Amino acid sequence: MSNRLASSTSPYLLQHADNPVDWWEWGDEAFAEARRRGVPVLLSVGYAACHWCHVMAHESFEDEEVAGVLRAGYVAVKVDREERPDVDAAYMSATTALTGHGGWPMTCLLTPDGDPFWAGTYLPRDGFLRLLRAAAQQWTQERDRLEHGAGQLAARLREAYARADAATDDEVVDLAAAVATLASEHDPQWGGFGGAPKFPPSMVLAFLLRHHGRTGDPRALAMVRSTCEHLARSGTYDQVGGGFARYAVDRAWVVPHFEKMLYDNALLLGVYTDLARTDERSRSWAGRVVHETVEWLVRELWTEQEAFASSLDADTGGVEGATYTWTRDELVAALGTEDGGAAADLLGVTDAGTVEHGRSTLQLRSDPADPAWYAGVRQRLDVARSLRPQPGRDDKVVTAWNGLLVGALAHAGWVFEEEDWVDLAARCARFLLDVHAVDGRLRRSSRDGTVGRSLAVAEDYGALADGLLALHRVTGESRWLDEAQHLLDQAVDLFGRADGGIAATGRDAEQLFLAPSATGDNAEPGGLSAVAVALVRAGAQGSRPDLLERAEGALRRVAGTAQQAPRFAGWSLVAWEELAGGPTTVQLGPRPAPELAQAARRAPAGTLVMAAATAPDDAPDTVPPGRALVCRGTVCGLPSADPGDLPRTPQAAAPAT
């Protein structure tokens, strides 16, 4: 018998719809029920592609004894963190405050007013049962003490947030110093930053590419090359099917956590596109990664509604990575003795294996001697792998993540002259504008064309606006600029703060025990940086200095983080870099010569190149045919047909260390 989750638009919640647990969705009704019964709330937060979420579901939430204990003493609430990032962020703050770490599944015990009094992550069944029974007994015997402690914790967290906010420096970031900090944290052997676990640092790489493009700093480009090449040759990149896994458990990117997320691949697609177009040395392999990643996105995540699904699971049949790993014998069975042995040697498949049970991820640490042979090997392995059980797909459409991909796909389509990619981006954008905007307010997600109830947060507005701005640059169609500016005007009204900052949630959003922060970047752009990047680009493309000023005002609120911990402010640093460059725009006139168009495609990362506007050649303010107009901030040159007049990366010596 299905529970209350059966009508959800979240695939993660639907995975729990047949649990014996009497689940509630997050909402006033669940907390009203807890107050009516006088019991605490069990809050469980996860997402569909999460391996340990599946483990806890099978061990505990499918168990009748656990369900009985929950029915007797709790109101059980299940949340998809991807649908409700605000709920996730608020209670993750409590979890990290209480335990010193976070992760998913997140497990919290709350008062009926929503204040947390216990928090943790994955618990095995027996430990979970002990917790539930002990906490229920304490609640019965010492409810006043638990509620008082929960209220104190909530108050301390709010005070800490207020102090951190008040201490925010209102300053400009020293971008060269941020690069120096990143250089000190860069892994010179395997790329990336820091040690294991290691996440693809896509937003930081985007910043470094822009810094190199503006200053010529060779350290910035070297860090991008190193990280992108090591990552592209590793087990974290799918050498057979394309696309990147979420992160690696080791420094060398050999063994990934196998879920594939839309936002990771959208952000990395943009990085590899810009690396391929601006760095001749990286062009061949970076371009290959771009094409393979787009092929994977279209094949695996494109939906019938003409948008992109959220993720593929880490697990197949309860085994993490089962679809993606190989033994030498399996390669021989798929390819024959000679080709199988050669492929095993090339792809690092050993008898001992690189993961559990003698299995290996595939790594392309060196290029094949015969590219045509290797292309055939990939194709045959893809066919063989398609016969295996496949990971589940979370097919909800998230506004922010699709906005990121609209921008990356449109940009890649322009760079590689793939009109079909631009068309896919435009179709996705139209779906988001038609379905996710309800009564003038964006929603966070949809599934099968049915929009969810959760309101969009700041990152949704920023990322979608930025995707529309990319379509404007690529197509020259003013409607995309108009839609983007409308979204950003809404965003400033909904999320703008009196101090110039950007809040994570809108003025019309539900008030949680703790207002989540929008200032930092995590695996994806935070709300402030997503809106700020879009404001910078909209201000440049639409000749609106007010948007540029609004962007700088917001960025000053996170200047301290960007300066001191640049790894966690990569997207804000992208906005700072583009502001430092002017921003620089190149407006192409109709019918540019091939040499001029190619020079525009090779312009430094961060240069906003705009296709000819869809207006008559003799319309006012139109760049003449065959020419390009370069502007830096509010200062423009004269239209020119000379490719040499377009922006180029300066030559600079490496800074002294």
* Number of H-type helices and E-type strands within the chain: 23, 21
| Highest mean pLDDT of the ranges 123-137, 159-173, 314-328 | 123-137
pLDDT at 170 over 70: no
pLDDT at 166 over 90: no
Q: Which of 165-174, 460-469, 513-522, 615-624 has the lowest mean pLDDT?
A: 615-624
The predicted pLDDT at position 439 comes to 96
Neighbours of 1 (CB within 10 A): 6
Q: Where are the alpha helices (DSSP H) in 279-398?
A: 283-296, 328-335, 337-346, 371-386
Q: State the angle between helix axes of 458-475 and 478-495 in degrees (0 to 180), rounded to the nearest 10.
A: 160
Mean pLDDT, range 41-54, rounded to an integer? 95
Structure tokens at 562: 């960007």
The predicted pLDDT at position 94 comes to 95
Q: Output the pTM of the full model.
A: 0.95
The predicted pLDDT at position 655 comes to 52
Structure tokens at 499: 């101090």
Backbone angles phi, psi at 407, to 5 degrees: -65, -45
Mean pLDDT, range 602-613, rounded to an integer? 94
Mean pLDDT of all residues belonging to the chain: 95
Tell me the C-alpha distance between 9 and 451, whole Å: 8
Structure tokens at 386: 């398609």
Three-state SS string across 205-244, please? HHHHHHHHHHHCCHHHHHHHHHHHHHHHCCCCECCCCCCE
Q: Contact 432/484 with Cβ under 8 angstroms?
A: no
The predicted pLDDT at position 164 comes to 75
Mean pLDDT, range 294-315, rounded to an integer? 97
pLDDT at 236 over 80: yes
Tell me the C-alpha distance between 517 and 528, whole Å: 9
Nearest to 335 by CA among 369, 381, 385, 387: 381
Mean pLDDT, range 75-86, rounded to an integer? 97
Mean pLDDT, range 616-633, rounded to an integer? 80
pLDDT at 621 over 70: no
Mean pLDDT, range 407-421, rounded to an integer? 98
pLDDT at 92 over 60: yes
SS3 137: helix
Q: Contact 279/219 with Cβ under 8 angstroms?
A: no
The per-residue pLDDT for range 468-520, each reduced to its tens digit, is: 999 999 999 999 999 999 999 999 999 999 989 999 999 999 999 999 887 88
The predicted pLDDT at position 162 comes to 84
The predicted pLDDT at position 167 comes to 60
Contacting residues for 440 by C-beta, under 8 A, at least 6 apart: 490
The per-residue pLDDT for range 237-277, each reduced to its tens digit, is: 999 999 999 999 999 999 999 999 999 999 999 999 999 99
Query: What is the amino acid identity at position 597?
Result: A
Q: What single string gives the DSSP state of each residue in 523-538?
A: SS--HHHHHHHHHHHH
The per-residue pLDDT for range 186-210, each reduced to its tens digit, is: 999 999 999 999 999 999 999 999 9
Residue in the structure block whose two tokens are 């896919």: 424
pLDDT at 620 over 90: no
Nearest to 272 by CA among 211, 229, 219, 222: 229
The predicted pLDDT at position 615 comes to 54
Who wins on pLDDT, 169 or 633? 633
pLDDT at 613 over 90: no
The predicted pLDDT at position 200 comes to 97
